[in-house]
Amino acid sequence: MFLRPLAVHRTKHRLFHDLRTYKEDPRWPGWQVIIGIETHAQIKSRRKLFSDSFTSTPDDTPNTNVSAFDAAFPGTLPKTNSKAVDLALRTSLALRCKINARSSFDRKHYFYSDLTSGYQITQQYSPLARDGELSLHSLDSPITVRIKQIQLEQDTAKSTFDSRGSRSQIDLNRAGTGLMEIVSEPDMRSPEEAGAYVRALQSILRAMGSSDGNMEQGSLRCDVNVSVNRKGDPPGTRCEIKNLNSVRFMMAAISKMSCLQTFSLKLINQPAHEIKRQKEFLISNPGSSVPQETRGFNEDTFETFRLRSKEDAPDYRYMPDPNLGTLALSQSRIDEIRNNMPPLPWELRSKILDKYPSLKDKEQSLDVLLNVDNGREVGFDGEDGAGAVEYFERLCQAPKRDPIVILNWMTHELLGQLAARKQSFYQNSLTSEQLGELVDLLQDKIITGTSGKYLLRHMLDNPSSKSPKEIAAELQLVAIASSSGTSKASDAGSSPSSELEILCKAAISELPSEVAAFRAGNKNVLNKILGHVMKKSRGRANAKEVRHIVEKLALGDNHNGDL
């Protein structure tokens, strides 16, 4: 009884996509571009998919997390890691998939040095989940991309080629790590839609704690399928571009034009990207279709290049894995996961906006916060840890703190500094208490913005449990107060009111010609005098106060203040 409306809805949904009306894209008039994406997301479980060894980060010493099974010793048997399966289930539910109560594993055979067993365990015939969807709200014209299936599989080892020694080196740390292959239907029509899809997927994976979703570090890899057809014609033959490792590269592989804002303009005259290449083929070979190929992407020239044609495609000789049997999932296990799902990114977003309405004008920064790659320790095996959002909320607990100021400091300063150090959020050594106090020092004008940034960098470089106030005093960052006493720097114990005036007086005597020009009416030269004082104060002076004092000293008490 209850299934019927769902089935009708699904049918309508599919029809909508199959017939998705041709919409002219001014970049390739008369043509339609169709894109489908296969993503491989490393599962953020503590242990590998079929063995007890720990999963690794790229920084781990090679070949230190390897069990006999990962190295394919004869006689070793796989044992499915239920935590990894649970994380994949959570992801499948977040993507509104139907869970397959009985899925199974198959062996995909091929011979390469990074695959010691000679086969990869995957789910070719009966995947974990099917028929999901992901809505892309960030686009000007939002779309829904259908998810064809989600399958579990093993990652391979990593081989690197040492050209000096003319030899390949194999690191088995990655061998056997759990992957989710998430396959979309061919529902995207532009590089922008493809980019939005991968970004939305990243935020879901991160919110579910099921993968770091980090393309640069290889925990998320995309294969992009692209085809081109003339308006009114059926879809063209797809070419698959393998292993793209950033959203920008993925968009560039589809169409160089889409990424010219982010990359150098010198690329404008370089040869073909995928859409251009396929269009040119169809124009110069009327009546033929583009040959089906697997292609690579050159990150320097932004060109795709042929790896192999369909005829050269290996015969993987798929066969059911005799050691694993069926992966049976009880309804109660699925229900339990459904009932304990962490909030989805858009749920978290509206919860935060309800709680802190002033952030409505700061949606871009809020999205940065919601999409933070928390790193391995948070949500490891689905456990909850203090991710960036929780950290933000802890900071906002002190009543006098302004959520806008906190959000700015977190997204612009803290996350910026962590990114510069190539650190994930979990590697952040600054506690929420420390950052909170730092922001309080700023709001109370005990330190200036410049000093605050310096203090933050210093604290990240020299982690300690000391309070920012103590460190600010040690580093002599406490702001110099003006004679009007607006600063609370009197805590520092010196006589700060005169210190600022002494600095200003010194500047006036050290820059006589600038002061003369200023007195003669050259307003611009004031900045030079102010810059001189700011430099001498090592960022501890408040620029407004310095300006006021310099004007007063240079022009006498009678200046009208609006120079």
Residues contributing to the site for ligand ATP (CB under 6 A): 34-38, 183-186, 225-227, 235, 238, 240
Binds 373: which of ligand ATP, Mg ion, none (CB < 5-8 Å by kind)? none
Helices and strands (H and E) in the chain: how many: 18, 16
Contacts of 194 (CB under 8 A, 6+ apart): 35, 37, 188, 224, 250, 251, 254
- The interface with Mg ion within residues 227-246 (CB under 5 A) comprises 240
Between 224 and 388, CB nearer to ligand ATP: 224
Nearer to ligand ATP, 86 or 185 (CB): 185
Q: How far is the CB of 318 from ligand ATP (least distance, A)?
A: 10
The values of phi and psi at residue 554, to 5°, are: -75, -40
Q: Is 293 helix (H, G, I), strand (E, B) or coil?
A: strand
Q: Are the beta carbons of 317 and 287 closer than 8 angstroms? A: no
Compute the least distance from the CB of residue 173 to ligand ATP, in Å: 23
**Are 447 and 540 contacting, i.e. CB atoms less than 8 angstroms apart?**
yes
**Cα separation of 19 and 315, whole Å?**
34
Nearer to ligand ATP, 213 or 468 (CB): 213
Which C-beta is closer to ligand ATP: that of 35 or that of 253? 35
Sheet holding 129-136, edge to edge: 98-99, 129-136, 143-154, 178-184, 31-42, 220-230, 239-244, 293-298, 303-309
Structure tokens at 31: 């043509």
**Nearer residue to ligand ATP within complex by CB, 169 or 285:** 285
Residue with tokens 């970004």: 199
Shortest spacing between CB 126 and ligand ATP, in angstroms: 14
The residue among 38 and 212 lying less far from Mg ion, judged by its C-beta, is 38
* Three-state secondary structure string covering 491-532: HHCCCHHHHHHHHHHHHHHHCHHHHHHHHCCCCCHHHHHHHH
Which residue, 124 or 497, is less far from ligand ATP as judged by CB? 124
In the complex, least distance from residue 151 CB atom to Mg ion, rounded to whole angstroms: 8
Of 36 and 382, nearer to ligand ATP (C-beta) is 36
- Phi, psi for residue 197 in degrees, rounded to 5: -65, -50
As to burial, measured by CB atoms within 10 angstroms (0-12 exposed, 13-18 middle, 19+ buried), residue 61 is: exposed
User: CB of 181: closest distance to ligand ATP in angstroms?
Assistant: 7
Q: Are 61 and 188 in contact (CB under 8 A)?
A: no
Least distance to ligand ATP, CB of residue 240, Å = 6
CB of 16 to ligand ATP, least distance (A): 16
Name which of ligand ATP, Mg ion, none residue 473 binds, using a CB cut-off of 5 to 8 Å depending on partner kind: none
For the range 547-556, what are the long-range contacts, defined as Cβ-Cβ under 8 Å and sequence gap of 24 or more?
548/482, 549/482, 549/483, 549/500, 549/501, 549/504, 550/504, 550/507, 550/508, 550/526, 551/526, 553/501, 553/504, 553/505, 553/508, 554/508, 554/515, 554/518, 554/519, 554/529, 555/518, 555/519
Q: Which is nearer to Mg ion, 40 or 376 (CB)?
A: 40
* Dihedral over alpha carbons 350, 351, 356, 361 (to 10 degrees): -10
Residue 536 carries which side chain, given as an amino acid letter? Answer: K
Q: Which is nearer to ligand ATP, 53 or 151 (CB)?
A: 151
Q: How far is the CB of 401 from Mg ion (least distance, A)?
A: 48
Shortest Cβ distance from residue 293 to ligand ATP (Å)? Answer: 12
In angstroms, give the least distance from the CB of 203 to ligand ATP: 20
- Interface size with Mg ion, residues (CB under 5 A): 3
| Shortest distance, position 262 Cβ to ligand ATP, whole Å | 24
Q: Does 185 bind Mg ion (CB under 5 A)?
A: no
Contact partner, 178, from Mg ion, ligand ATP, none, Cβ < 5-8 Å per class: none
Taking CB atoms, the residue at the shortest distance from ligand ATP is: 36
Decide whether 38 or 514 has the Cβ nearer to ligand ATP: 38
Distance CA 259, CA 292 (A): 25
| Residue 36, contacted partner among Mg ion, ligand ATP, none, CB below 5-8 A by kind | ligand ATP
Number of residue whose CB is nearest Mg ion: 38
Q: Which is nearer to ligand ATP, 197 or 249 (CB)?
A: 197
Q: Does 153 bind Mg ion (CB under 5 A)?
A: no
Helix (H) or strand (E) run with residue 533 in it: helix 525-536
Backbone angles phi, psi at 115, to 5 degrees: -130, 90
Picked from ligand ATP, Mg ion, none, the partner binding residue 254 (CB below 5 to 8 A depending on kind) is none
38 binds Mg ion (CB under 5 A): yes
- Least separation, in Å, of the C-beta of 184 and ligand ATP? 5
Q: Which of 183, 196, 262, 255 is nearest to 223 (CA)?
A: 183
According to DSSP H, which parts of 328-421 are helical? Answer: 331-339, 345-355, 363-370, 388-396, 403-408, 415-420
Question: Pairing state of beta strands 293-298 and 303-309?
Answer: antiparallel
HSE of 313 in the Cβ direction (CA atoms, 13 Å)? 12
Q: Return the DSSP state at 65.
A: S
How big is the chain, counted in residues?
A: 563
CB of 35 to ligand ATP, least distance (A): 6
**Of 274 and 545, which has the nearer Cβ to ligand ATP?**
274
Q: What residue ranges bind Mg ion (CB under 5 A)?
A: 38, 223, 240
